[in-house]
Amino acid sequence: MSEQQTLYRTHRAGELRKEHAGQTVVLTGWVQRRRDLGNLIFIDLRDRSGFAQVVFQPTEEAGSQALMAQGDKLRGEYVIAIEGVVAEREAGAVNAKIPTGEIEVKVSKVEILNAAKNTPFYIQDGIDVDENLRLKYRYLDLRRAEMQKIFLLRSKVTTYLRNFMDHNSFIEVETPILTKSTPEGARDYLVPSRVHPGEFYALPQSPQLFKQLLMVSGFERYYQIARCFRDEDLRADRQPEFTQLDIEQSFMSMDQFQEMVEEMMTGVFQATMNVEIPRPFPRITYREAMARYGSDKPDVRFGLELQDLTEQVRGSGFKVFNMAIENGGEVKCIVAPGCASYSRKQIDELEAFVKRYGAKGMAWIAVQEEGVKSPIAKFFSEEEMAAIIAQAGAQKGDLLLFAADSKKVVADSLGALRSKLGKELGLIDESSFKFIWVTEFPLLEHDEEANRYVAAHHPFTMPMEEDLHLLETDPANVRAKAYDLALNGFEIGGGSMRIFRREIQERMFQALGFSREEAWEQFGFLLEAFEYGTPPHGGIAFGLDRLIMIMAGRQSLRDTIAFPKTSSASDLMTQAPSPVVTEQLDTLHIALGGKALSGVEKQEAEETEAK
C-alpha cells in the first residue's frame, strides 16, 4: 500500500463524459469490479457519483511494469487513487447503459490507499441478504448505490424544507434533549442525574411544550428538524428515536397555515422528485374518513369505499346483522370488483384476515353472471337482495364482503380489508402521491383500562369553539381543532391549534382527570406562562423518516435512518445498549434492580430482532 496519499481527486468518476477526452484526471474511490484480460486490467472505479472504467495497459515507458504489478494487486473494495488520461472508447466497447459508457481512463499512476477483505455481502443493489447481517455491517450496506440514493434524497428533502421555512420567516431554534418526564403519552426514556440524586431527565417525545413556550416568547414562527424519542414496542414503522419537522406559528389562521403546509409539501415533491401534486389538498372530517374508508389516514389513491347498508338490512331475517344493529353497531360492505368468481378458499382467507381485526365472521354476496350466490341469500327476498346490491353500487362480476359489528370493529376490519384488496387487485397507482387532510378529530378518547379520558392528540390541543361547552358534560363529543395530513395511507403529519388561555387549559386537564394540584405540579410553568400574554398559536409535526420512506418507495423506516435500531431497540453494529461498569451506576445513584426478564424472554426478544 502507498504510505501516503499524494494524488487528489480532480473529477468525480460518475461525471466523466466524452467531452473530457484528452484531459488528465485524478479519480479516487473503490474498486467495484476488476477484469483481468491478461495484458489489460479493467477496473470499475466507484465513488459517490457513480463509476468509470479505468484501464491498466502496458507501455514502452519506464515504470510500466511496476504499474501493471500494482494493478494486479487490486481486488474488490480496495481504495485507490489513479491518475490517467480520459479516452473515448472504441465504438464496439461503448456501453450505452451507463452514463460514463463512452469513455475510459488510461491509468498512468496508481496509489493503493487501503486494501479490503472480501465483504460479507456484495456491494450492489437488490441483494437478498438477512437484514441482521446488513445491520451488523451497516457501513457496508450503506455503500450500496440504492442506499446512498435514499440518503441523498433525504438530504435534498431536508434542505428544501429548511429553505422553505427560512423563506417564510420561520427561524430554527433548538430545544433540549435532556428534559422533564411527563406522565402523558408514550413511555419516556429516562436519564439519571449525577448531580441530583434520585432525579431523572427524560428524552423528549416531541418539543411540544418548548415550541409553545417559544410562541409565548414572541418568536412567532419556529421550526426545527428535531430528534424525538419513544420507548415503545417497535414495529417496522417505528424506531426508538425518530426525526420530525416540527413547526409552530402564532397569529395565522388554521386555513392560512394549512395552505402554507400544502405549498411546502407540493414544493418538496416538485423540487426533489419532479412530481406535480395538485392543490388544494382534499379535506375530510374524521367522521367521514372513518365512515368511507374505515381509517383516519385513508389511502385515497383508490376507491373501494365502505358502503353503509345498515338501513337496507335493518329488520331483515339475518340475525347476525340485526344483533349488530341493535347493539348500536352497523352493517357495511366493500365491493370487490371482478371477484365474484372467488373460490370458497379465497373467501375463507379473507374472512380469516378480517377476524384479526375483531370481526367475528364475514358474510358475502357474489354477483355472478348466472345470478347471486351467497350464504345469506336465504335471509333476503330477491327484491331485498337487489336493493342491497344496488345500494352498494355493485355490478355483475363483483363480490360484496360484509362486516356487521360495532362501528370500531366494522371500520377496523373493512378498513384493513380495503387496503389489502386495493393492493392485491392492483387498484393502486404506486407512482402516485395522494395527500388528504383529516380534520375535526375527537378531542378525547376513553381509555377503558384506566377508565378515564385521554387526549386523542395531546393535552394542548384546542377544542373547536362550538364544542367547548360540552367539555364537562359530553367530553366524548368534543371535536378538536386538529388536522392530520395523510399520504398514501400513512399519517405523515399531525397538527392542531393550541389552547392559549389558562382557564381552557385547566378545564382540559380536569377533563383528563388531573386534579388542580397534579396539573400545576406537572405543567405549572405552562399554565403560568399563559398568563403573561400568550398569542393564539398552532403547529404541526411531520414524521420525516416516514415521509422519506414513502418518497423513496421503501417498506421499512430502517432504510431511511443511517444507523437504525432493530425491533428490540438494539444497534447490531455497535452492540448498544450494553452493560456498563458498576462505578458508572454508583456515580448516577442507581443500581440494577427491578424484575429481570427470564432467559427465555430475553432469547425471544433477541429472536425478534429486526422483524
Using the rule CB under 8 A, which residue among 17, 18, 35, 196 binds a copy of itself?
196
Alpha carbon of 341 to those of 371, 372, 570: distances in Å? 12, 11, 47
In this structure, what C-alpha cell is assigned to residue 356? 384479526
Pick the stretch among 17-25, 61-69, 225-233, 335-343 that binds a copy of itself (CB under 8 A).
Answer: 225-233
Using the rule CB under 8 A, which residue among 501, 515, 516, 611 binds a copy of itself?
501
Pick the stretch among 176-184, 258-266, 303-311, 430-438 that binds a copy of itself (CB under 8 A).
Answer: 176-184
Indicate the burial class of 76 (C-beta count within 10 angstroms; 0-12, 13-18, 19 or more).
middle
559 a known binding residue?
A: no
- Measured from the CB atom, is 367 or 478 closer to a copy of itself? 478
Determine, following the binding rule CB under 8 A, whether residue 531 of this chain makes contact with a copy of itself. yes
Determine, following the binding rule CB under 8 A, whether residue 251 of this chain makes contact with a copy of itself. yes
Determine, following the binding rule CB under 8 A, whether residue 200 of this chain makes contact with a copy of itself. yes
Residues 533-562 that bind a copy of itself (CB under 8 A): 533-536, 561-562
Using the rule CB under 8 A, which residue among 15, 72, 130, 199 binds a copy of itself?
199
d(CA 488, CA 410): 21
Residues 152-171 that bind a copy of itself (CB under 8 A): 152, 154-155, 158-159, 162, 166, 171
Cβ 315 to a copy of itself, closest distance in Å?
45
Determine, following the binding rule CB under 8 A, whether residue 229 of this chain makes contact with a copy of itself. yes
How many chain residues touch a copy of itself (CB under 8 A)? 133
Determine, following the binding rule CB under 8 A, whether residue 310 of this chain makes contact with a copy of itself. no
546 a known binding residue?
A: yes
Cβ 299 vs Cβ 491: under 8 Å: no
**Which positions ≥6 away from 409 have C-beta within 8 Å?**
329, 357, 358, 359, 403
d(CA 359, CA 352): 9
End-to-end CA distance of the chain: 41
63 a known binding residue?
A: no
Residues 415-474 that bind a copy of itself (CB under 8 A): 465
d(CA 185, CA 183): 7
d(CA 344, CA 351): 10
Cβ 237 vs Cβ 557: under 8 Å: yes
Using the rule CB under 8 A, which residue among 23, 24, 132, 181 binds a copy of itself?
181
Pick the stretch among 33-41, 102-110, 252-260, 352-360 that binds a copy of itself (CB under 8 A).
Answer: 252-260
Which of 471, 532, 464, 524 shows the shortest CA–CA distance to 499? 464
- Measured from the CB atom, is 110 or 334 closer to a copy of itself? 110
Which of 83, 80, 14, 24 shows the shortest CA–CA distance to 47? 14
Cβ 585 to a copy of itself, closest distance in Å?
6
Determine, following the binding rule CB under 8 A, whether residue 175 of this chain makes contact with a copy of itself. yes
Determine, following the binding rule CB under 8 A, whether residue 376 of this chain makes contact with a copy of itself. no
537 a known binding residue?
A: no
Instruction: Check residue 603 and report its DSSP letter.
Output: H
How many Cα atoms within 13 Å fall on the side-chain side of residue 327?
15
Residues 51-110 that bind a copy of itself (CB under 8 A): 77-79, 81
230 a known binding residue?
A: yes
Using the rule CB under 8 A, which residue among 10, 59, 124, 148 binds a copy of itself?
148
Q: What binding mask, one character per residue, do residues 285-304 give for a copy of itself by CB under 8 A, x or -? A: --------------------
Name the amino acid, one letter, at 412: D
Q: Which helix (H) or strand (E) segment is 101 a member of? A: none
d(CA 387, CA 195): 74
231 a known binding residue?
A: yes
Cβ 475 vs Cβ 536: under 8 Å: no
**Which positions ≥6 away from 503 have C-beta within 8 Å?**
none
Using the rule CB under 8 A, which residue among 15, 36, 72, 139 binds a copy of itself?
139
d(CA 241, CA 343): 45
- Identify the residue whose cell numbers are 432493530: 566
Cβ 334 to a copy of itself, closest distance in Å?
38
Cβ 102 to a copy of itself, closest distance in Å?
24
Cβ 283 to a copy of itself, closest distance in Å?
20
- Measured from the CB atom, is 150 or 277 closer to a copy of itself? 150
Pick the stretch among 91-99, 127-135, 208-216, 506-514 that binds a copy of itself (CB under 8 A).
Answer: 208-216
544 a known binding residue?
A: yes
Using the rule CB under 8 A, which residue among 18, 35, 149, 194 binds a copy of itself?
194
244 a known binding residue?
A: no
d(CA 258, CA 276): 18
Alpha carbon of 27 to those of 44, 46, 94, 546: distances in Å? 11, 9, 20, 36
239 a known binding residue?
A: yes
Helices (DSSP H) in 137-253: which residue ranges? Answer: 138-141, 145-167, 208-216
For 51, list phi and psi in degrees, rounded to 5.
-150, 160
Determine, following the binding rule CB under 8 A, whether residue 257 of this chain makes contact with a copy of itself. no
Using the rule CB under 8 A, which residue among 184, 241, 384, 491 binds a copy of itself?
241
Determine, following the binding rule CB under 8 A, whether residue 321 of this chain makes contact with a copy of itself. no
Which of 410, 383, 388 shows the shortest CA–CA distance to 398? 388
Tell me the residue length of the chain: 611
545 a known binding residue?
A: yes
The maximal CA–CA distance of the chain, rounded, in angstroms, is: 99
Using the rule CB under 8 A, which residue among 13, 216, 245, 340 binds a copy of itself?
216
- Measured from the CB atom, is 140 or 367 closer to a copy of itself? 140
Cβ 333 vs Cβ 393: under 8 Å: no
d(CA 509, CA 454): 10
- Measured from the CB atom, is 426 or 579 closer to a copy of itself? 579
Residues 571-600 that bind a copy of itself (CB under 8 A): 571, 573-581, 584-597
Supply the Cα-derived Rg of the chain in whole angstroms.
30
Cβ 248 to a copy of itself, closest distance in Å?
13
User: Residues comprising the binding site for ATP?
Assistant: 230-232, 239, 491, 543-546
User: Residues comprising the binding site?
Assistant: 184, 230-232, 239, 457, 491, 498, 543-546
User: Residues comprising the binding site for L-aspartate?
Assistant: 184, 230, 457, 498
